[in-house]
Every structure is written in C-alpha cells, then in structure tokens.
Structure 1
Amino acid sequence: MSVWDSVTLSTRFRAMPEVFYTPVEPQPLLNVGWVAWNAELARQFDLPAQPNDELLQALSGQAMPEAFAPLAMKYAGHQFGVYNPDLGDGRGLLLAEMRSRQGEVFDIHLKGAGLTPYSRMGDGRAVLRSSIREYLCSEAMAGLGIATTRALALMHSDTPVYREKQERGALLVRVAQSHIRFGHFEYFFYTGQHEELRLLADKVIEWYFPHCADEADPYAALFNQVVDHTAQMIAQWQAVGFAHGVMNTDNMSILGQTFDYGPFAFLDDYQSDFICNHSDYQGRYAFDQQPRVALWNLSALAQALSPLVERSDLEAALSAYETQLNGHFSALMRAKLGLNRRLENDGALFDDMFGLLEKHKVDYTRFMRQLSELDRDAQQAVLDLFIDREAAQTWLQRYLSRCEQELDAVGQPLSSGERCSAMRRVNPKYILRNYLAQLAIDKAEQGDFSEVHRLAEILKTPFEDQPQYEDYARLPPEWGKKLEISCSS
C-alpha cells in the first residue's frame, strides 16, 4: 500500500489555461537524504509520522505519484520598486494539492527542483544554508501564531551548487494554502490579458474567499479582504519584531501569509530602521518601512485589478489600510503589555517605551518577556537590560501605575499574576535568532542535523518555559547581532 493512498490529491491549478504555468519535471539531485520531516504537519494530511523511502523518492522528484502534475507558475512583480515582467517559479514547482483532515486544500511545493523556463540566469537550485533558514523560520512563525507558509520536509544532497562558494544542493517541501502572489495579477494586467486576469480573480474567490461571491461587487470585496489580511500580517511582523527583507510584490501572498523566506531576521537590539538584507542598500525594506511598503504593494495590486474594480472602490480599500493596520497592531501590543483598557495617555507610554529601547539598544524580545515575568522576578531584571537604569525606572513605574488601572472580568483590579500569565502567552521566550540558525547551518554542513531538529522542536512552543533549553533564550553574542544575510540562495 502506498503512503499516498490515504491522501486526497488534486491538480486544480493545472486545470487552468497553460498561460498560467509551464509543465516542468523535477531534475533530481544526487544521493538525496532526509534532513528533517515535520511529523506534526504530516499528520494533518494523513501522511506518516516517520519519513520513508517512498516519501523521499516522491518528494525529491525521483519517482513521483501519478497524481502529481508538476508545474512552474508564471507571474511578474515589482522588485525593489521596479517592474520586472520576466519572473515566475525559477527554482520551485507546484507538485499537486492535498486536502487536510479539516477539509482545506494546500499546495505541495518543491523548492530547488532545477531549471524552469523562468530561471533566468539561475540554476534552479536551492542550497542547504537557505533551505534550513526557511524550514526553521516558517515553523517558528507558525509557533508564534503568525500567518505563514509551512515546511513539510527538508532534504540534502551531494549535488554541488555554486553561489559565493560551492555549497550543497537541498530541497525544501513547502505547504501553503496558495502560492498565488500579487505578481500573478500584475502579469496578466501588464500583458493586457484581462480575461485571464478575471479568471484568476474568480478562482481566488472560489478557492479562498467564497463569501465574496455573494457581495454586490465580488472583485472589490476580494481586494478588501486582501488589504485586511495584509494589514494583519504586517501588524504581526511589527509586534514580534520580524523583518522580512525582500518585500517585492512577487513575494506577497494573496492570502496575507508570510512567504518566501530569504534574508529575514528577528530584532535583537531594538532598532526601528534595522535592515536585515545586506543587498538593500537604500533601506527600502527596513523594519520600520514594512507597513509603508505593504501599502505600496497593495497599491500595485490595485492597479492590476483596475480592469475589474472601480477606482473609487480600490481607493476606499487602500485608505482603510492604515486604520486596519493600526487596529491590529494596537491590539497585539496591548496584549503584549497586558493592557486591555484604552486610556488617554497610553500612546505616550508606548512611544516612550520604543524610544527607550532604541536609545539604549535593548533586546526587544527579552524586554517584552521580562515584563511578563514581573510576578516572578524583581523589577531589577528589567532594569538590568538598560544602561540608564534611572530612565528605565521612571518608565517602569509609569507602566506599573498604568497596570493598576486594569480590571478583571468582574470589574475587580487585575492581579499581577493574572496579567503576567496572559502576557507570557503572547510574548515569546524563544525566537529564531540569526546566530542560532547559523549554528545549526554550520553543523548541518558537516553532516550533523541535530541542531536543526532541536531548534525546530524548541520553536514549536516559543511561549512556554523549556528549562532544558534555557541557553536558547539567552541574549545573543555580539558576533551574532551582525550577521549579514543576502538574497543569495
């Protein structure tokens, strides 16, 4: 019996006209082996908890099930603000779709599968280094409750791949509700294929936003949904301190899910203008620019949808973005600080907090977690994060005075224990710091994948105390704060 017999597979995107894609067979790598298998995710699709050779053969493209129909999607996009019509799946293939136990349909996507018509000057391969980073970060984001693609499997090989140096080729199996991007709509708009544009919008509504079909203008309703989903995702990034690094429109999911992990980073020391991509010379995708860039990208999508939606409706949706973003971000930050009520001076309290963190180069994750430990630890643990303890003490007393105005469900003062317990559920103790990822990569390149497994396990439950892994919650070493990450993969 095949492991695929219990999985409901489909190829609904393959049923689209071929202008949407090109059929491409994977080009297998040499001596492929497992690095990691996501057993928890696999169970959601009735796949085995333990990987086997049949799975390895199928997911590496060596002996695929008949139900698979691999293809490379065609799309376009704005890269660093410049339109590029010559884009598409250059090293990834959509193998098929599979249905989860909950009845939802997900793409099975193989990254690093070889040349496609859209590879441009590339080789269609992925390297072990970047594949480990995407595997770990997509699972870290899922653990944090942030909308994201997921990683089902990671494989290594003996195939040499040349970047700045010779590296080992790898394969990542990515699972996502959709791989449709803003750039798909841009491609059909800029090439004047408006009937195909309409068909794409119809399918996005049918597959992902069926309630929009009942609205007076389904396409306007669709755009409203994309704006809100994107605003929510960006608010989640900003609240947790995540920098994506390459927010091109071809890296923007139509579902508002974190997509295409490249030179990402979580903040260590709080720095509002932090740039995680050393190829981003102008700081276009700096941490504090992400909300603005998301609006710019939504405006590009609005332009692509203009044959289907009235300009006034597009502008109305875009004008709502800032309000939606601020609403989502405010709710997230209030939860992180344990403040449920809205009081007049809260904005100043938040602004002064961010100013203090930046001025004194305080670790963002540690500070937020330490605030949630005030029912366990003395205030000194918070103050010790600052050089200017007097300034920190002044802000902390303002914050604690503000906390005294919080009430529980029956209108009584909220206890410190109740507040902090709730805060610990939203302030992670563990994040995927760049130096931790690098240590795992260094070992993996020597054939030891234990650190990849260990990090993946820790990051599944980032809010929980894990006494055996206390070292993974410590502040990063100085060298770990200055790692340069590029788009090269």
Structure 2
Amino acid sequence: MPSQPQAADYSADPVILEVAAWLADPVKAADFPKTELRFRNDRWDKAVGLDGINDDKFTTYFGHFEPLPDNLKEPLAMRYHGHQFRTYNPDIGDGRGFLFGQLRDGSGRLLDFGTKGSGTTPYSRTADGRLTLKGGVREILATEMLEALGANTSKTFAIIETGEELQRGDEPSPTRSAVMTRLSHGHIRIGSFQRLAVLEEEDHLRALIDYSLKHFPGPLPPEDASGREEPAIILLHQVIERMADLAASYMVAGFVHGVLNTDNMNISGESFDYGPWRWLPSWAPGFTAAYFDQTGLYAFGRQPEAIHWNCGQLAISFSQIADRDALVGALERFGPLYQEAMANRWLWRLGVKPKGTESDTKVLEASEQTMRDAKIGPDEFFFQYRGGRDATGALADALKPYVTTDSDHPYWSEGAPVSMLIDEVETLWSAIAERDDWQPLYDKVAAIRRMGEALGAAPVPAGHL
C-alpha cells in the first residue's frame, strides 16, 4: 500500500506567528456570492481531525474562512520575492491566496492550509485575486496524480464554487469561479529568503532559517561537509536533498510543472501551485507545458537543471551570512543525489528492486530507448513492462539480474494504465462546464487513488517531509 494519511485528532499550532510580523500581512477573504462545495478530500480531512464536521461547517471554514478553533484569528498573505523565468521580481507575494491556518498531523508534522482564489491582497496589483473553477479542477487532478505516483506534493483539500463570472484572456470567458484550499508542509519559499536578503534584513534572514530548521527538521549534513554546524549550511543541505528528490519524482512521473520559479519552490521540498502542467504523451525531453515558455526554460528534460538553479539562488541569499565555499559544497551534492533518487524511483515504478550499482543506470538508459523506439510515454511504459514482463532486447538484458517486487494488485492485469493527458483533462472539464456533471471527475480521482494503491509507497530519502 502507498503511504496513507493516518487518522488524527485536530491539533492547531499557528507557529507562523513567530515570524509573521515581518513575513506576512493580515488580510480578509472575499465575500463570495455563493459557496457550493464541489470537492472535499476525504482522505486528508481525517489526517487533520476535520472528518467529523459536516459539509455545511466545512464550507463555513473553507468557503467563508471562519477561523478554525484555536488557530489564526485572521488570514496572512505571505511576503516574498522571486525569479520568474530567471528575471528577478521584487513586486510579488501572495496575490490571490493566504495562509489560513496551521496544525499538526498524527506524526507531529506541521501542515498549512493555504488558499488560491480567496480574494485580493496587498500583492494583487491589477489582478482580481480569483481562481477559475477549471483551475481548481486541474489542481485536483495534478495533486491526486502526483500523490499516487509518489511525488511529494501539496494536497487539494477543498474546492468550493463561488458564483462569480471571471474574465480571462487565455480561456473562454466568462468562466466560473472557485476558491481552493491546499494542505501542505509549509509555505516558506526560496523567494521568502530572497526577499530578506535583498532588503538586507539579516536578523530576519537568520530567524527564518531557525524557524525552518525547527519546524521542518531534517538530517545534519554529511560529516565531511564544510560548515556543517552553521544553521544556513544545514538548511541548504536539507533543501538540496529534498529538491533533488523532487526533481527525480517529476521525471519518473513524466510530469512537467511548467512554472518552476523561485517563488514556487517550497523549502520543505514539496511541490505546489499547479498552473500550466502537463504529463508527457511520449518521452520527449523538450516537451513544454506553458505556451508562454518560448525558450523551453522549464521543458521536461530541463526541470532538474531549473530546480538546481533555484537552489543556487537560495545559496546566494545565504551568502551574506554563511561561508561561500560551504554553500558551494552543498550545491555540488545535487547531481549525485538526483541520480540516486532517479534510480530508486525509476526502479520502484518499474516494479523491481534497485541494486545501487551501475546496472541501475543501464536499466534507465534501456527504458528511455524503449520509450523512444515505441513512441510511448512513461505511463504506458511502466505499465506494460511492470516487473520486466514483456521486456525484449536491451531492456530485457538490463533487467535480468533484478528481483521483481510484488505486482499482485489487479490493476496490473487491466488493459491500460491510468494516465493524465491533456485530452482527458479537457473532457473531464467539459462534463462540468456543459452539463454540470462532476461524476467523471470523481471517478477519475478514485481510479488514480487505486493506481496509487497498486504502486505502493515510493522510496524517499531521510528527512523527506
């Protein structure tokens, strides 16, 4: 079975108040014309002790944003800067979302409720602070699919339709509106540190590092690492480890995030904020998700490079308070950690046990060549050749010394894999837009979760949150 959320009691813990005075601004939620519950995550409401409340009360919290018990008294819009397509932008921050509350799960991990489409903030600029209902549906699909494929991702906790007609230049308008609540391990971005560094708020920079180490704990750097006792160096090593695994999880999933800006990089290593995402229809490193990514900066095959570059910006933010050679030493770990995570995750999804040797690399190389030759994508490849079945040629040779993991789940005997290609996404949305038929979406979520059960828990490194 995959890593399932365990039932827990509700446990509020708004620790963001330790740093909120200089990291966030109090805001108010929009007053929506209606609040109609469309999606409630019935797996994760149990993990935070909110499964016992009825839908009306649930909507009061996540549509009207009545404060949760013993939690934040008012929402907080987070302040941050960021590189957007590698151009530095100091004029950003939470423009259509806020931090609504914090709590602990049954294992003591800190979780945030963050929103999207909840109204304007001081950082909205000329935007309306809203989210399209289609954007909310796409967020459900992205997070459910990534969770099933073992990626460290935020969870779509609630989608509530809000009754407004929105004008958008990149899709048919007017279009329906929604407000989304995500559940995630924090909302401290690389851009949060960039802002403090640019403003030369060194005391606050150090305080945010301490906050991150306290509430998102991980292992110490390797014993031979330079500066391993410095808080900034410790945090950078932890972020590098998490980001290398995140990059590998995207590649093994065949997922293209589309907008890997530094303000979209969570130091917990958790993927979030899904806009123009896509899954690969075939193995194509140059495949892009965003029509506006004209240079292919965030193309599928360039995602590890992009995430590593973002880690470099975090190191630059720390350079005014930490030893530069030690920072560089941490950054140099990304490549080997990424390769290790790629091998472990790839062989996990293929259904064989990794050896930790060069033979793992040969399996990856043979797998990529098989996909190119057959013109198929990862979903079809991993399903067709699960456990090495039906493998021929170089792939069969590469898999000979491997032991197969348990593949008894009936999913593996079905005719086709669960996938998430754009045509199906549009079909699911059309059912809602044209007939207000939500059942195909709910059926798809159920199928995705069943695939996750068949795959089982993904291998994750120490310190994975």
Counterpart of 2:90 in 1: which secondary structure?
A: strand
Query: 2:89 aligned with 1:84, yes or no?
Result: yes
Query: 2:191 aligned with 1:183, yes or no?
Result: yes
Amino-acid identity (%): 25
The Cα offsets for residues 112-145 of structure 1, whole Å up to 9 and x where unpaired, read as: 1110000122110011011111122112212222
For residue 142 of structure 1, what is the amino acid of its counterpart? E
Residue number among 115, 129, 132 corresponding to 2:120 in the alignment: 115
Question: Could you tell me which residue of structure 1 aligns to residue 441 of structure 2?
Answer: 452
Question: Could you tell me which residue of structure 1 aligns to residue 234 of structure 2?
Answer: 221
- Quick one: distance in 2 between partners of 1:270 and 1:51? 45
Question: Could you tell me which residue of structure 2 aligns to residue 471 of structure 1?
Answer: none
Contact in 2 for aligned 1:178/1:255 (Cα 8 Å): yes
Change (3 A) 1:348 1:117: same
Using the TM superposition, give the Cα deviation of residue 269 of structure 1 relative to its aligned residue in structure 2, in angstroms.
1.5
For residue 397 of structure 1, what is the amino acid of its counterpart? G
Contact in 1 for aligned 2:254/2:377 (Cα 8 Å): no
Change (3 A) 1:156 1:352: same
Using the TM superposition, give the Cα deviation of residue 463 of structure 1 relative to its aligned residue in structure 2, in angstroms.
4.6
Using the TM superposition, give the Cα deviation of residue 51 of structure 1 relative to its aligned residue in structure 2, in angstroms.
4.2
For residue 109 of structure 2, what is the amino acid of its counterpart? E
Using the TM superposition, give the Cα deviation of residue 50 of structure 1 relative to its aligned residue in structure 2, in angstroms.
6.6
Using the TM superposition, give the Cα deviation of residue 161 of structure 1 relative to its aligned residue in structure 2, in angstroms.
1.4
For residue 200 of structure 1, what is the amino acid of its counterpart? L
For residue 362 of structure 1, what is the amino acid of its counterpart? I
For residue 449 of structure 1, what is the amino acid of its counterpart? W
Residue number among 41, 56, 60 corresponding to 1:38 in the alignment: 41
Question: Could you tell me which residue of structure 2 aligns to residue 370 of structure 1?
Answer: 384
- Quick one: distance in 2 between partners of 1:93 and 1:343? 45
Change (3 A) 1:343 1:178: closer
The Cα offsets for residues 318-351 of structure 1, whole Å up to 9 and x where unpaired, read as: 1111011011112222334436346666645533
Counterpart of 2:233 in 1: which secondary structure?
A: helix
For residue 132 of structure 1, what is the amino acid of its counterpart? V
- Quick one: distance in 1 between partners of 2:363 and 2:440? 40
- Quick one: distance in 2 between partners of 1:107 and 1:465? 29
Counterpart of 2:304 in 1: which secondary structure?
A: helix
Query: 2:343 aligned with 1:333, yes or no?
Result: no
Using the TM superposition, give the Cα deviation of residue 454 of structure 1 relative to its aligned residue in structure 2, in angstroms.
1.4
Change (3 A) 1:364 1:157: same
Change (3 A) 1:197 1:464: closer
- Over alpha carbons, which structure has the higher Rg? 1
Question: Could you tell me which residue of structure 1 aligns to residue 145 of structure 2?
Answer: 140
Change (3 A) 1:92 1:211: same
- Quick one: distance in 1 between partners of 2:91 and 2:220? 31
Residue number among 425, 431, 441 corresponding to 1:437 in the alignment: 425
Question: Could you tell me which residue of structure 2 aligns to residue 12 of structure 1?
Answer: 15
Using the TM superposition, give the Cα deviation of residue 359 of structure 1 relative to its aligned residue in structure 2, in angstroms.
4.8
Question: Could you tell me which residue of structure 2 aligns to residue 401 of structure 1?
Answer: 397
Contact in 1 for aligned 2:219/2:238 (Cα 8 Å): no
For residue 29 of structure 1, what is the amino acid of its counterpart? F
The Cα offsets for residues 355-405 of structure 1, whole Å up to 9 and x where unpaired, read as: 342354223211221011765xxx4xx7xxxxxxxxxxxxx2333234333
Contact in 1 for aligned 2:366/2:398 (Cα 8 Å): no
- Quick one: distance in 2 between partners of 1:171 and 1:215? 43
- Quick one: distance in 2 between partners of 1:281 and 1:148? 26
- Quick one: distance in 1 between partners of 2:113 and 2:356? 44
Counterpart of 1:439 in 2: which secondary structure?
A: helix
Using the TM superposition, give the Cα deviation of residue 252 of structure 1 relative to its aligned residue in structure 2, in angstroms.
0.6
For residue 236 of structure 2, what is the amino acid of its counterpart? F
Contact in 2 for aligned 1:275/1:283 (Cα 8 Å): yes
Query: 2:127 aligned with 1:127, yes or no?
Result: no
Residue number among 212, 215, 237 corresponding to 1:204 in the alignment: 212
Change (3 A) 1:374 1:217: closer
More deviation, 447-456/212-221 = 212-221
Question: Could you tell me which residue of structure 2 aligns to residue 357 of structure 1?
Answer: 371
- Quick one: distance in 1 between partners of 2:319 and 2:448? 42
Contact in 1 for aligned 2:110/2:216 (Cα 8 Å): no
Using the TM superposition, give the Cα deviation of residue 184 of structure 1 relative to its aligned residue in structure 2, in angstroms.
0.1
CA RMSD across the alignment: 2.6
- Quick one: distance in 2 between partners of 1:276 and 1:37? 27
Change (3 A) 1:404 1:419: farther
Counterpart of 2:83 in 1: which secondary structure?
A: strand
Change (3 A) 1:374 1:303: closer
Question: Could you tell me which residue of structure 2 aligns to residue 473 of structure 1?
Answer: none
Question: Could you tell me which residue of structure 1 aligns to residue 461 of structure 2?
Answer: none
More deviation, 286-295/454-463 = 454-463
Question: Could you tell me which residue of structure 2 aligns to residue 469 of structure 1?
Answer: none
TM-score (norm: length of structure 1): 0.82
Contact in 2 for aligned 1:39/1:50 (Cα 8 Å): no
Query: 2:279 aligned with 1:271, yes or no?
Result: no
More deviation, 335-344/77-86 = 335-344
Show the 5 A alignment for 1:298-313.
298-313=311-326
Counterpart of 2:91 in 1: which secondary structure?
A: strand
For residue 229 of structure 1, what is the amino acid of its counterpart? R
TM-score (norm: length of structure 2): 0.86
Using the TM superposition, give the Cα deviation of residue 29 of structure 1 relative to its aligned residue in structure 2, in angstroms.
1.3
- Quick one: distance in 2 between partners of 1:195 and 1:342? 43
Question: Could you tell me which residue of structure 1 aligns to residue 159 of structure 2?
Answer: 154
Contact in 2 for aligned 1:135/1:172 (Cα 8 Å): no
- Quick one: distance in 2 between partners of 1:332 and 1:373? 14
Query: 2:369 aligned with 1:323, yes or no?
Result: no
Question: Could you tell me which residue of structure 2 aligns to residue 237 of structure 1?
Answer: 250
- Quick one: distance in 2 between partners of 1:464 and 1:105? 25
Query: 2:30 aligned with 1:27, yes or no?
Result: yes
Using the TM superposition, give the Cα deviation of residue 10 of structure 1 relative to its aligned residue in structure 2, in angstroms.
3.2
Contact in 2 for aligned 1:14/1:71 (Cα 8 Å): no
Contact in 2 for aligned 1:372/1:421 (Cα 8 Å): no
- Quick one: distance in 1 between partners of 2:22 and 2:422? 39
The Cα offsets for residues 292-327 of structure 1, whole Å up to 9 and x where unpaired, read as: 111111111100111222101110011111011011
Aligned residue pairs total: 431
- Quick one: distance in 1 between partners of 2:328 and 2:454? 46
Using the TM superposition, give the Cα deviation of residue 18 of structure 1 relative to its aligned residue in structure 2, in angstroms.
2.4
Using the TM superposition, give the Cα deviation of residue 453 of structure 1 relative to its aligned residue in structure 2, in angstroms.
1.4
- Quick one: distance in 1 between partners of 2:373 and 2:279? 18
Q: Tell me, which stretches of 5 or more residues in structure 1 are unaligned?
A: 1-5, 383-395, 407-413, 467-489
For residue 385 of structure 2, what is the amino acid of its counterpart? L
Contact in 1 for aligned 2:370/2:395 (Cα 8 Å): no
Query: 2:264 aligned with 1:251, yes or no?
Result: yes
Contact in 1 for aligned 2:42/2:51 (Cα 8 Å): yes
Using the TM superposition, give the Cα deviation of residue 15 of structure 1 relative to its aligned residue in structure 2, in angstroms.
3.8
For residue 185 of structure 1, what is the amino acid of its counterpart? F
Using the TM superposition, give the Cα deviation of residue 191 of structure 1 relative to its aligned residue in structure 2, in angstroms.
1.2
Counterpart of 1:36 in 2: which secondary structure?
A: strand
For residue 432 of structure 2, what is the amino acid of its counterpart? A
